[in-house]
Structure 1
C-alpha cells in the first residue's frame, strides 16, 4: 500500500501472546503517521497476526487495515480475500481483490505463519514463570465456625496448573471451588482455589501447587492455632499461614461470589 512520501513509518516488531492453553498469536505492526499544516494528524496502521490452534494443526493469518484507530478493511486467510469492515474500506477491498499478485501474496501469508511457528515454539517451551502462592481466610472467625480458606496462586506461565487442598495430610475434594484461570494483563495467569470448611483445634490446612516451572510441588500451610494473634497487624491480602517455600503476593481483584460465599482479595483501595 503506497501512502506517499510525507508519511512517517514506524515498525513495532513482533509480539507473542498466549490466548489460552492451546491457542497463541504472533503479531507485527506497521504504522504511518502524517501531520498536515493545519495541525490535523492522521494515523494509518497495518496489523498482521498469525493465530495458532493446537500447534500447527490450524493456522490463520489476519491482516487489519486501520485508519485513525478505526479498522476499515482486513484480509482473512480463512476467507481468502480482502473484506470491507466499513464503507471506507469497500472500494479498497475491491481494488485489492482485483490485483492477483497482491491477493496471491496475502494468501501465502498463512504459509509464512507456519514457517514462523518456531518463534511460538520458543515461547511455549522456553518461557516459564513460577507461581507465587498465598493462603489466608476470608474472615477472622472463632473455631467451629464456617470459614473460607483461599489459596491465591499468581504470576505463573504456562497456564496449566494443579492446586489441591489438604487437611492434616488428607486431600479435601468437597467444598473446593475455583475461579479458573484469570489473565493478569500480561502473559501470566492467576487463580484462586477456595476451601469451605469449619476449622477445628490443631488442624493444619495445606495448599499444594504443581506447575511445570517447579521441580517439586510448592506447599503453603495454614492453621488457626499456629496463626498470630488476630489483633496483630498484617499486610493486606497476606494470609495468616506458614508459606514455604514460595514468597507471597498480594492480589487486588474485585469481590467475587463463589458458592454463595462472598470474598475479596487484598484491600479495595
Structure 2
C-alpha cells in the first residue's frame, strides 16, 4: 500500500504478513522543507484493527489494547527508540527526489491551427504526483489528458500531461506540478515567443558556431607554435 495525499503531502507505506494477518504502516506528513518539520507515525494493525501507534509530535507510543498498552510502556522506556525514530524520519524524507519538468509544443500533422502542449515530469520519487494545467490563473478541465506514471528503471518515474489548445497572444498558460519533494507547487509557464522548430535551429546553429570558433582558435595556436619552432631552429 502506498498512499499520497495533496496538498497535505502525506505518504504511507506498509509491510504486511499473511500469518498472522499483521500490517505495519509508516507515514510522513510534510509540513515544510526540512525533515524536522515532518510528522512521522508508525501504526501496527492486526486483522485491520489498530493495535499500537507511534507519533513523532507526541514523541511516544500509544497502545489501544491491554497487551499493546503494556508494550507501549516498554517501548517508551527505551531511551534509544526516540533516536531510532528520528533516523527513520530523516531517511524517509531523504528518499524524495523532485521532478524535472519540461514544457513543449507539438504541432498537429494535419496542419490544423490547434496545437498540443506537453508537460513532462522526469526523474522523480516517489511516484505519486499531481499535474494541472492553468490558463490565466484558472484550472483547465477540458481538452486535457494524462499518461500513466511510468518507471525509468532506476527507481525514478516519469509522466506526461497533454493540453489541446489554440494559441492566442492574450493567454498565459502554465503547467503546475505538485510532488512530495516540493515545498510548494512548481509552475512552468509556456513561452510561445519562438516555435519549437525555430528554437531548435537556433540552438544547433549556436553549437556549430561555437565548435567552429574552437577549431579556428586551435588552428591559430598550432600555427603559432609551429612558426616559433621553425624560427628557433633557423
TM range (shorter): 0.3 to 0.5
**Which structure dedicates a bigger proportion of its chain to strand?**
1
* Pair member with larger Rg: 2
